[in-house]
Structure 1
Amino acid sequence: MQNVKGTYDFFGKEQELRKKVQTVLQEVFELCDFDGMDSTILNELDLLSSKYAGGDEIIKEMYQLTDQGERSLGLRYDLTIPFAKVIALNPGIELPYKRYEMGKVFRDGPVKRGRLREFLQCDVDIVGIDGPEAEAELMQIAAEVFKRLNVPIALRWNNRQFLGEILEAIGVPSAEKLSVMLTLDKIAKIGTDGVIKELADKGLEPQVTTAITELIPLNDPTAEQLADRYGITNSKGSLEVQALQELIYKLGLKQICTFDPFLSRGLSFYTGTVYEIFDASGSFTSSLGGGGRYDVIIGKLVGREDVPYPTVGISFGMESIMEMLKSRPIETKVPIAIVIPIGLRTIPDVLRTAAELRANDIRTGLDTSRRKLKKSLAAAASKGIRYVILIGEDETAEGKVRLKDMKETTEVVLSLEEAVFLIQKNTQ
């Protein structure tokens, strides 16, 4: 018996850390007034494989199945397309609408560190705002999330419209622009030589390939320098870049957010700004999250491309974040108190005692292992549990509990109400 490749069960300390990260994400999302959502895992295949969805590469990794009614279905490979479906099916939703969702997605792709076949995505999206303030707010959210996780980040960003205008000025045919963008996006993975080889295989005019290869070695060019070089200072993409850059400076995000003229991300539906998050130290190379603007998907899904649904989102890569955090010491939560029965007849009182402690927000464990008391006490001490409550037949008869303070090495017999008061007083 074994798990399917690329799938894992999570428990113990690792699950505790996963829940901690999810709690941080949810707290930040709700602090910023985003509504929670649960979209469907199972979807119509036509929706997931639509030309408006993720593109050919992602379709190859989609899990497909047929139900008993011989309907063609698929498991969601991200949270974006199901979200777009929700907006398309519910035209009464008041815009702008801001949502977050944390849920499992599935991709039959290569398995490596931080990349699984069943994994958790954590998304936030804003639909109904076409200005750069939407992108800037999501950048602020990313900065706050990783600040709370104590992870220094570098957020690289670009604008696909702007990059497309540069390629157009160079002479790249419209039909090849997306393909060239995706090749340029691979510079960090396959290097300059690999990019040049891919470009050569596209059948572009020699002068066009030469112009692109001359673009690659430029030393961290700014958007302004590129706009001047290619004569697109007042183009749509250039103006969008300038507007977002100004916001980044004014919001104090300049140290985190860096313009990257070759970033375009893999999914085909992005229409403007795109961004990707990395570990600033460089010790962990996989992406920690990413996203961008996708203004046309929803309108196309409802068959109304003339209806504007400006939308921007960001996804946090839970598995990558976990891989990075697992190398750090994990603080394990331990009970404040543990209740131990002395004899089987006291079990009902032990359970009632534990319930009363928990009702007073005291994290309480039970030790009903029936091992020797000496071993139970040693186990409690080794875990750092401060209070042990012992209940034997004498305590049950008197309506009392025996409270051991493992830190102060004291032991008293008192009522349960007095024990609750004492524990709360010493642990607040």
Structure 2
Amino acid sequence: MQNVKGTNDYWGEEQALRQKVEAILKNMFGVYDYDAMETPILNEADLLTSKYAGGEEILKEMYRLNDQGSRNLGLRYDLTIPFAKVVASLPAVELPFKRYEIGKVFRDGPVKRGRLREFTQCDVDCVGIAGPEGEAELLQLATAVFAKLGIPIIIYWNNRKFLAEWLDKIGVPNDVQPTVMLTLDKVAKIGPAGVRAELKEKGLSEAVLSSMAAYLNEEKPTFEQIVAEVQLAQSSGAEEVRALQLLLDQTGLGAVCRFDPLLSRGLSFYTGTVYEIMDVTGVYSSSLGGGGRYDAIVGQLLGRDAVNLPAVGISFGLESIMEMLKSREQQRSLTQAIVVPLDKEAAAEAFVMTTELRTAGIRARLVSEKRKLKKILASASNQGIRFVILIGSDELAKSSVRLKDMFEQTENVMPMDQAIFCMEKIYPPVDFT
């Protein structure tokens, strides 16, 4: 009577919230002139495992099965390959061809917060736009979607063609470049030292490892730095990076979209720009969505490898979005901060500080009951209250407070106005205009 690991049931308030999110997404997709599509969950294994599909890493997680006719089948692991199949079956389709699809996909991978084995993807794809306008439109759509959802984001982007040219220049053999890209993409998860150790296991020469090590520091290299140091100024990948960056700056998207030269994403079919959407506050560490350009798939499915049909897409992770929204809804229904006077001398100032928090739009409570601090903090943690402000004689003497972040398990001494600023980054003031 229990669910298969990595699957969930949804009902009541949670299901209502899921439907609301899907309605917002569908509306925004329509505003950007994308039409709805629905493709089968069940596909021929040959399609899903072809060399034009997701690549070795994703195929390890594919669910495979046989029907009563002994046909080799698989459950789709994304919505891009089924979309490419549809386009390949319609050679006379009018371009640009723009569609969105919201549906279940399946991956037999590790289960963690926001990552299940049966989950819903919300994909938007366009075939027929070769220039950076295709990527820019989807990045603009993503920015609009998350603004509508009230989730602050940052979008990291790169160009796999540029990354391949860079690796080629420093001597990484072509046959190992895909796996090297996947390792470089892990720098945020395993750190520079972990990346260096993993690269060493790939049989790269000491000269190549030394060249790569120079770029694997806490501060990632800039596009200009790479271009100058390895002489890539005239490469086609570099030109694509410049063209998209110019368009992002002209449309105001440069403030949200940040170039990351180590980003590659896991799927092997990307041929140019790739991007990943992250929570700007850092509270949620997994990706909220991503995508990129995949110009080769459709032509290859048609058996015409030399034919490139320009295609670009983006996918929004409904489960990740739900994790963000559920957490936020919980926080909104609870007190956001409590103020705790540590002695009688601080009682009046604590009252004033509670008023300042409320004036700033932060839901605050003054703790006046006589309880041990340990119990007050435990109670705050149990109730899901994120911030605790402690004020006593020592803090009064320094014109400061102690701000505890119960979620991040941090404590810092700072002036009250700075504490309010820190809380406003998490709980921005509500605009009633």
TM bin, normalised by shorter chain, reads: 0.7 to 0.9
Distance 1:228 1:25 in 2: 41
Distance 2:167 2:307 in 1: 28
Distance 1:177 1:77 in 2: 24
Q: Which one is further off, 112-121 or 320-329?
A: 320-329
Code of the residue aligned with 2:42 in structure 1: it is: L
Q: What is the CA-CA distance between 1:147 and the residue it aligns to? A: 0.4
1:68-217 equivalences under 5 Å are 68-217=68-217
Distance 1:15 1:92 in 2: 40
Matched-pair contact (CA < 8 Å) for 1:13–1:330? no
Code of the residue aligned with 2:261 in structure 1: it is: P
Matched-pair contact (CA < 8 Å) for 1:289–1:316? yes
Partner-residue secondary structure (3-state), 1:57 = helix
Distance 1:164 1:144 in 2: 31
Return 5+ residue gaps in structure 1 as ranges: 332-428
Q: Which one is further off, 7-16 or 212-221?
A: 212-221
Distance 2:329 2:70 in 1: 50
Q: Are residues 1:244 and 2:238 paired?
A: no
Partner-residue secondary structure (3-state), 1:138 = helix
Q: Are residues 1:28 and 2:28 paired?
A: yes
Q: How far does the alpha carbon of each residue in 1:277-328 deviate from its partner, in whole angstroms, 9 at most, with x for none?
A: 0000111101000000111111111101122211110000110010111012
Distance 2:29 2:223 in 1: 31
User: Where does residue 348 of structure 2 map in the other structure?
Assistant: none
1:13-52 equivalences under 5 Å are 13-52=13-52
Matched-pair contact (CA < 8 Å) for 1:5–1:117? yes
Distance 1:265 1:71 in 2: 31
Q: Which one is further off, 303-312 or 238-247?
A: 303-312
Distance 1:283 1:329 in 2: 14
1:173-322 equivalences under 5 Å are 173-217=173-217, 219-322=219-322
Distance 2:117 2:179 in 1: 25
Aligned length: 332
Which one has the largest radius of gyration?
Answer: 1
Distance 2:244 2:228 in 1: 18
- Deviating runs (4+, > 6 A) in structure 1? none
Distance 2:174 2:210 in 1: 18
Code of the residue aligned with 2:197 in structure 1: it is: K
Matched-pair contact (CA < 8 Å) for 2:182–2:265? yes
Return 5+ residue gaps in structure 2 as ranges: 332-433
Partner-residue secondary structure (3-state), 1:199 = helix
Q: What is the CA-CA distance between 1:330 and the residue it aligns to? A: 7.2
Q: How far does the alpha carbon of each residue in 1:355-387 deviate from its partner, in whole angstroms, 9 at most, with x for none?
A: xxxxxxxxxxxxxxxxxxxxxxxxxxxxxxxxx
Q: What is the CA-CA distance between 1:196 and the residue it aligns to? A: 0.6
Code of the residue aligned with 1:130 in structure 2: it is: A
Matched-pair contact (CA < 8 Å) for 1:34–1:98? yes
Matched-pair contact (CA < 8 Å) for 1:43–1:76? yes
Q: What is the CA-CA distance between 1:33 and the residue it aligns to? A: 0.5
User: Where does residue 327 of structure 1 map in the other structure?
Assistant: 327
Q: Which one is further off, 187-196 or 238-247?
A: 187-196
Distance 1:281 1:330 in 2: 17
Distance 1:218 1:286 in 2: 19
Partner-residue secondary structure (3-state), 2:183 = helix
Code of the residue aligned with 2:90 in structure 1: it is: N
Matched-pair contact (CA < 8 Å) for 2:263–2:274? yes
Identity of aligned residues (%): 62
Code of the residue aligned with 1:119 in structure 2: it is: F
Distance 1:78 1:295 in 2: 17
Q: CA RMSD in A?
A: 1.4
Matched-pair contact (CA < 8 Å) for 2:78–2:105? yes
Partner-residue secondary structure (3-state), 2:121 = strand
Distance 1:329 1:118 in 2: 24
Matched-pair contact (CA < 8 Å) for 1:17–1:330? no
Distance 1:330 1:261 in 2: 36
Partner-residue secondary structure (3-state), 1:327 = helix
Distance 1:177 1:330 in 2: 44
Partner-residue secondary structure (3-state), 1:215 = coil
Q: How far does the alpha carbon of each residue in 1:384-428 deviate from its partner, in whole angstroms, 9 at most, with x for none?
A: xxxxxxxxxxxxxxxxxxxxxxxxxxxxxxxxxxxxxxxxxxxxx
Q: What is the CA-CA distance between 1:225 and the residue it aligns to? A: 2.3
Q: What is the CA-CA distance between 1:177 and the residue it aligns to? A: 1.2
Distance 1:285 1:308 in 2: 35
Change beyond 3 A, Cα 1:206–1:90: same
Distance 2:225 2:242 in 1: 12
Partner-residue secondary structure (3-state), 2:239 = helix
Partner-residue secondary structure (3-state), 2:254 = coil
Partner-residue secondary structure (3-state), 2:313 = strand
Code of the residue aligned with 1:192 in structure 2: it is: P
Code of the residue aligned with 1:194 in structure 2: it is: G
